[in-house]
Amino acid sequence: MTGDFTFSIIKPNAVRTGKAGPILSMINEGGFEISAMRMVRMTQQQAESFYVVHKGKPFFESLIEFMISGPVIVMLLKRENAVEEFRKLIGATDPSKAEQGTIRKTFAVSVQMNAVHGSDTVENAHREANFFFPEKDRF
Ligand code: IDP
Ligand code: MG
């Protein structure tokens, strides 16, 4: 895949409550192009490996339980400066601190159930993309 990309997840709470459509609209309106997308229910092992940097933090166990509680939508998103621009579009981790108009401000219900994931660095975007999408599944 050429150009900048980031990796995103629509989290279980948002999928469960029918927010995937509106979130995808905001992503497209934010100038991102969907390069790969799949619905998946993560196993405990996958979720623990995905969030390994948070292992040992007080919220880790609860985060894993939440992330495997239902299907999620994983995707690769293309755009210039994708990682940074997507973090702007989703807003702060804690929705009470997220700016108006961001995805998390609009759809998060708590710090944990904050509707979406977005890679925090270009290096992590590559790592997370490889986690779910072989090259052949990217457009
Ligand atoms: P990020 O998703 O904005 O990059 P991280 O600090 O990487 O935030 O945390 C990963 C995820 O763990 C968050 O999106 C959120 O779902 C959850 N999380 C982070 N901090 C807390 C907390 O203090 N309480 C509960 N859940 C948290
Ligand atoms: Mg993070």
Domain CATH code at residue 22: 3.30.70.141
pLDDT of residue 2: 42
The verdict on residue 29 lying in a domain is yes
Domain that holds residue 113: 5-132
Average pLDDT in the 123-129 region?
Answer: 97
For residue 61, the CA-to-ligand 2 centroid distance in Å is 15
52 assigned to some structural domain: yes
Q: Kindly indicate the confidence band of residue 1, based on its pLDDT and cuts at 50, 70 and 90.
A: very low
Ligand 2 centroid to residue 137 C-alpha, Å: 24
Which of 69, 72, 90, 93 gets mutated to test ligand 1 (max ligand atoms within 8 A of its CB)? 93
Asked if residue 82 belongs to a domain, the reply is yes
pLDDT at position 40, please? Answer: 98
- Find the distance separating the first CA and the last CA of the chain, reported in whole Å: 7
Contact 48, 125 (CB under 8 A): no
Is 122 within a domain?
Answer: yes
pLDDT per residue as tens digits for the range 78-111 = 999 999 999 999 999 999 999 999 999 999 999 9
Task: Say how far apart CA 35 and CA 50 lie, in whole Å.
Answer: 20
Looking at residue 99, the DSSP 8-state letter turns out to be P
Question: What domain count does the chain have?
Answer: 1
Contact by Cβ (8 Å): 117, 15: no
Q: Note the residue count of the chain.
A: 139
Q: Which of 59, 104, 120 to mutate to test the pocket of ligand 1 (most atoms within 8 A of CB)?
A: 59
- pTM comes to 0.97
Q: Is residue 54 domain-resident?
A: yes
Is position 137 within any domain?
Answer: no
